[in-house]
Amino acid sequence: MLQQARIRNSDFRSKIMSAEDAAALISDGSTIGMSGFTGSGYPKAVPLALADRIRAEHARGNPFRVKIWTGASTGPELDGALAEADGIEFRLPYNSDPVARQRINDGRMDYVDMHLSQVAPMAWQGFLGRLDTAVIEIAGITPEGDLIPSSSVGNNKTWLDIAERIILEVNDWQSPLLDGMHDIYYGTALPPNRVPIPLIRPDDRIGQPHFRVDPAKVAAVVATDAPDRNAPFSPPGATAEAIAGHILEFLTWEARRAGLPPSLLPLQSGVGNVPNAVMAGLIDTPFEQMTAFTEVIQDGMLDMIEAGTLRVASATAFSLSPEKAQYFNDNAARFRDRLILRPQEISNNPELVRRLGCIAMNCLIEADIYGNVNSTRIMGSRVQNGIGGSGDFARNGYLSIFMTPSTAKGGAISAIVPQCSHVDHIGQDVQVLVTEQGLADLRGLSPRQKAEAIVARCAHPAYRPMLEDYMARAARLSHGQYAPSLPSEALSWHQRFMETGSMMP
């Protein structure tokens, strides 16, 4: 048996069982801490078996729903399958699964959207309640009974520490060369015992390669052999290329203005095609020996490593397209010294993001003329994904850049609106705003100055006159002239979209 090679401790070997038997250990109403961060390192068998079990119980007329905590989003075999079975009553801290999203937006699932760096400490604080079971994918078990982390670390250290019962999935698909790439820091504590995190460079290693686990808590070990599932890569279109172009030009200018080193400062990059286009573009700039201190490792970063532009990337998870994931698995030896995976309380830690001075680059849903950003709620009421790590990085980075196409839904929606229908990032935390139209450097500007820059540089020309008209009338009619606004109209574009399908009158 292949798994025997990965499970090199006999105590753990004696606990091998089927996913169905493991899922049978979980009962209605449990709180389950799962591994998983974007589509990597999530358990691939037990959640499916649990979904079957839930469906069977529901068919018998019995209630069966669970509370799910993870690192961030996971894959269809976890969030998708369990939501489909109507098996999730509560979910934290991030979700991007379309089936689960629909249930949340239908009001049938409670969802708590959290800063990703805060999940582990808040779980320790105890107010989220008890964690009954942890279901964690790993890449193997050492002879000493330590766990080799998989392609994401997320909150696994914490779930293993605080859960009452543990189910492990050992995934044979994961590269054995993952072993040694992780840096699991065990120095965290709650106040008043918290101490400085001794990391001063993105490539510092401050922990150990493996998770500790209390073997008495391990109730099941399940063998799997299934790929991670991230979104396929689509080549960046003209809009993404234009946004990337503005950002690269700005970074080049800013590096000269501020006297930044040739390696720039550690990059943080949100997921998606636009950030990937930025990464691709960085290969052709004069920057060299760059580093990334970020949440996830994307396709573009592997390209940068191969091009010699990126020296090292620190993150909490891979987030590779299926092709790139296979490529990594086939060529892991070439990358393993340049990649470090850490718990998300470290990868996203505000103390470290500020110390290192990350250049934060994230996407948004809408921004308003005063530079407030909505990253999470469509029309203010429907959640898209969640705030993720964007707050951790945007507030604490050396530079905080937000980007978006200037319109959505084929032009029916302006990404620049009079007032955001929901705010995730306040003006103070949004320093640079970029669309394919242009870039607005908002640093040191007052609200009215920001509005002028954003409308002139970032708004789509089809919406610019409407924004100018709003600003002109607000300048006459507003209660105050610090950040002129018309509450009776500020959200009317959203209302119009909901009524007519377009923000255009």
Residue type, 318: F
380 binds, among ligand COA, a copy of itself, none (CB under 5 to 8 A by kind): a copy of itself
104: exposed, middle or buried (Cβ count in 10 Å: 0-12, 13-18, 19+): buried
- 406 near ligand COA, judged by CB under 6 A: no
- 483 near a copy of itself, judged by CB under 8 A: yes
Stretch that binds a copy of itself, among 39-47, 158-166, 192-200, 238-246 (CB under 8 A): 192-200
Of 133, 106, 97, 149, which Cα lies nearest the Cα of 25? Answer: 133
- 359 near ligand COA, judged by CB under 6 A: no
Q: How far apart are CB 161 and ligand COA at their closest, in Å? A: 24
Distance, CA of 142 to CA of 149 (rounded, Å): 11
Indicate if 499 belongs to the active site. Answer: no
Of 353, 352, 355, 376, which Cα lies nearest the Cα of 364? Answer: 376
Residue 123 near residue 345 (C-beta atoms within 8 A): no
Distance, CA of 420 to CA of 61 (rounded, Å): 44
Annotated binding site: 270-274, 365, 385, 389, 409
User: Which one, 180 or 501, has the nearer CB to ligand COA?
Assistant: 501
Residue 411 near residue 495 (C-beta atoms within 8 A): no
105 binds, among ligand COA, a copy of itself, none (CB under 5 to 8 A by kind): a copy of itself
User: Which one, 408 or 491, has the nearer CB to ligand COA?
Assistant: 408
Q: How far apart are CB 391 and ligand COA at their closest, in Å? A: 8
Exposure on the CB side of residue 209, measured as CA atoms within 13 A:
13
User: Can you tell me which of 122, 341, 413, 490 binds ligand COA, judged by CB under 6 A?
Assistant: 413
User: Can you tell me which of 409, 443, 473, 479 binds ligand COA, judged by CB under 6 A?
Assistant: 409
DSSP 231: P
Q: How far apart are CB 150 and a copy of itself at their closest, in Å? A: 27
H-state helical runs in 183-272:
238-258
User: Can you tell me which of 169, 366, 368, 429 binds ligand COA, judged by CB under 6 A?
Assistant: 366
Q: How far apart are CB 269 and a copy of itself at their closest, in Å? A: 17
Which x/- pattern over 275-314 shows residues binding ligand COA (rule: CB under 6 A)?
Answer: --------------------x-------------------
Residue 83 near residue 45 (C-beta atoms within 8 A): no
Of 192, 78, 212, 218, which Cα lies nearest the Cα of 146? Answer: 212
Annotated binding site for CoA: 270-274, 365, 385, 389, 409
- 23 near a copy of itself, judged by CB under 8 A: no
User: Can you tell me which of 145, 272, 322, 350 binds ligand COA, judged by CB under 6 A?
Assistant: 272
- Give me 383's structure tokens: 């959640």
What is the greatest pairwise CA distance in the chain?
Answer: 77
- From edge to edge, which strands make up the β-sheet containing 416-417? 373-374, 366-368, 416-417
Between residue 227 and residue 286, which ones bind a copy of itself under the rule CB under 8 A? Answer: 257-258, 261, 263, 265
Of 181, 139, 151, 199, which Cα lies nearest the Cα of 337? Answer: 181
Distance, CA of 465 to CA of 64 (rounded, Å): 54
| Catalytic position from the list 89, 137, 295, 436 | 295
3-state secondary structure at position 315: strand
- 390 near ligand COA, judged by CB under 6 A: yes
User: Which one, 112 or 332, has the nearer CB to a copy of itself?
Assistant: 112
- 415 near ligand COA, judged by CB under 6 A: yes
Beta strands in 112-180 (DSSP E): 133-141, 147-149, 165-171
Of 67, 86, 74, 61, which Cα lies nearest the Cα of 26? Answer: 67
- 270 near ligand COA, judged by CB under 6 A: yes
Distance, CA of 187 to CA of 95 (rounded, Å): 28
Residue type, 504: M
User: Can you tell me which of 3, 73, 118, 347 binds a copy of itself, judged by CB under 8 A?
Assistant: 118
Stretch that binds a copy of itself, among 78-86, 133-141, 327-335, 471-479 (CB under 8 A): 471-479
Count other C-beta atoms under 10 Å from residue 201's C-beta.
13
User: Which one, 150 or 294, has the nearer CB to ligand COA?
Assistant: 294
Between residue 28 and residue 67, which ones bind a copy of itself under the rule CB under 8 A? Answer: none
Q: How far apart are CB 258 and ligand COA at their closest, in Å? A: 23
> In the block, which residue shows the tokens 């060299």?
288
473 binds, among a copy of itself, ligand COA, none (CB under 5 to 8 A by kind): none
User: Can you tell me which of 129, 180, 308, 465 binds a copy of itself, judged by CB under 8 A?
Assistant: 129
> What positions carry a catalytic annotation?
295
- Residues in touch with ligand COA (CB under 6 A): 270-272, 295, 362-366, 375, 378, 384-385, 387-390, 408-409, 413, 415
